[in-house]
Every structure is written in C-alpha cells, then in structure tokens.
C-alpha cells in the first residue's frame, strides 16, 4: 500500500494513517508513505531544469518508487494531489 500525500504535504503527514491501517491489513502487507519530489525532505532534482511539477511527473515518481521496492502491483491511497497522482 502506497500512501500519497496532498499538495504542500509530506511523508510525515501520513504517519497517523499508516498506523491506523497496519492492523487492518494482512500481516506482512507493506505500507509505504511516499513523499513526492519537492515536498518535505525530498529534493526535486528536475526543478533546476525547469521541469513542471505536474501530475504525470508525480505519478512517474510513484512508479519509480514501486520499481525501487520491487513492487509489481500495489494499492494506492492518495488525497488531494496524491489522489490525482494515484489516478
């Protein structure tokens, strides 16, 4: 399960949801709060090149995280901007 925060949010804002979800999921199901580039403590390496922070780039960041984690499929939960990226 990837948790996707809203605009101006950060990974830390998802902690209460992460804690609430864990007992509801099958044991061993990973819950991964995702932090979008340019939010919280996660730098945006493409900002200097003038890349827009649009929904396509946000969604690509989630797919990159899934690739790094070796996740072939996932459940996504996002609110606000995170919901747009999930869609």
pLDDT at 44 over 90: yes
* Least trusted range by pLDDT, from 52-56, 57-61, 72-76: 52-56
Q: Any alpha helices (H) in 1-87, and if so which ranges?
A: 15-21, 55-69, 81-86
Q: CA 19 to CA 47: how far, in whole Å?
A: 32
The Cβ of residue 75 has, within 10 Å, a number of other Cβ atoms equal to 11
Predicted confidence band at 69 (pLDDT cuts at 50, 70, 90)?
very high
pTM of whole model > 0.85?
yes
77 with 86: CB under 8 angstroms?
Answer: yes
8's CB contacts (< 8 A; 6+ apart) are 39
Per-residue pLDDT, 47 = 87
């Amino acid at each position: 399960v990837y948790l996707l925060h809203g605009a101006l949010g950060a990974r830390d804002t998802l902690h209460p949801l992460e804690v609430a979800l864990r007992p509801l999921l099958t044991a061993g199901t990973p819950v991964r709060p995702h932090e979008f580039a340019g939010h919280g403590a996660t730098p945006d390496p493409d900002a200097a090149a003038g890349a827009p922070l649009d929904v396509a780039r946000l969604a690509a960041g989630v797919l990159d995280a899934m690739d790094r984690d070796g996740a072939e499929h996932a459940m996504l939960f996002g609110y606000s901007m995170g919901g747009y990226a999930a869609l």
